[in-house]
Amino acid sequence: MKPKFWIIFYILILHFSLTFSQDKMNYNKLTPEETNVIINKGTESPFTGKYTDYKSDGTYTCKQCDAPLYISNDKFDSHCGWPSFDDAIDGAIKRVTDADGRRTEILCANCGGHLGHVFIGENYTAKNTRHCVNSISLNFIPIEINTEVKMEKAIFAGGCFWGMEYHFEKVDGVKSVISGYIGGKTSNPTYKEVSYKNTGHAEAIEVTYNPKIVSYETLAKLFFEIHDPTQANGQGNDIGEQYRSEIFYTTNEQKEIAIKLIKILTEKGYDVVTGLSKATTFYSAEDYHQDYYKKTGGTPYCHFYTKKF
């Protein structure tokens, strides 16, 4: 019996060894400089990396395995000498305690390649997080205009549409954001009618986005994180049914995602009052409401980013 056991054991070891080798073979070949950082956890010199001051729109991927890690919309200028991001693509980054026992190292969750370190509490952005990443650990895929991509729409109501529009226009993959009215009984309503008459409409935004770049779930999470979904019929000091929190879904998939996110928030202790309705006719608001903060140079007064997921 012993010879058979060792034969089986040898075959299993050979199988796993070959599988591991094949996985490694699928990774990109690294230069000595890249190996020093990605494998040996080195650090490139500050202000020398290709992407430190890079401004183009697109996606940053892992140099070793090509896994998507960050989107350009989350990149910001920290003037620290390395590319800085205040968020990462969901599930793309693994955090571990650094060898020095003090800092938090960030790795590609797919291949384990070293990226840099993450720092919390520096107040550079509203998310209060800085992923300090070595340029040499990254590749970059620019956004390409593809006429064959079918754009999709998402409709959210959460207080004054000026603030909602402000935040959604900053999202990578969003083509346009239109302020308008939805959910009521009055056809072609005006701002005055929605504000002072019982039209039943809510101030809302219609988001047109590229689903190959940004998912509906990402947009829905942002919706919940820039307004208070526990405040009924109002947002901040804007009080009234027209300022209610409501998601108007255009597909059953959007409905299921919204239900899932509301459940997550409820389990976290939020008393969510956000409504969920099938989208009806969306009416665009008057021209002076479109791109309001771009025109006026102001910032939202009742919409602030608060991480909830």
- Cα separation, 107 vs 167, whole angstroms: 29
> Three-class SS of residue 168?
helix
CA distances in angstroms from 106 to 39, 100, 111, listed in the order given: 13, 14, 12
- Cα separation, 290 vs 274, whole angstroms: 24
Residue in the block written with tokens 């183009």 = 56
Residue in the block written with tokens 């205009």 = 145
Burial 168-203 (b: 16+ CB within 10 A, else e): beebbbbebbbbbbbbbeeeebebebbeeeebebbb
Q: Residue 202 is which amino acid?
A: A
- 108, 111, 132, 302: which is the annotated catalytic residue? 132
Residue in the block written with tokens 């395995």 = 65
- 62, 108, 111, 160: which is the annotated catalytic residue? 160
Is 80 annotated in the active site?
no
Can you list the positions of beta strands (E) in 72-128? 75-76, 84-85, 93-97, 104-108, 114-120
- Cα separation, 39 vs 112, whole angstroms: 9
Q: Which helix (H) or strand (E) holds 74?
A: none
> Three-class SS of residue 123?
coil
Q: Which helix (H) or strand (E) holds 304?
A: none
CB atoms closer than 10 angstroms to residue 68: 14
Is 108 annotated in the active site?
no
- Cα separation, 105 vs 102, whole angstroms: 10
Residue 106 token pair: 């960030």
Residues known to be catalytic: 132, 160
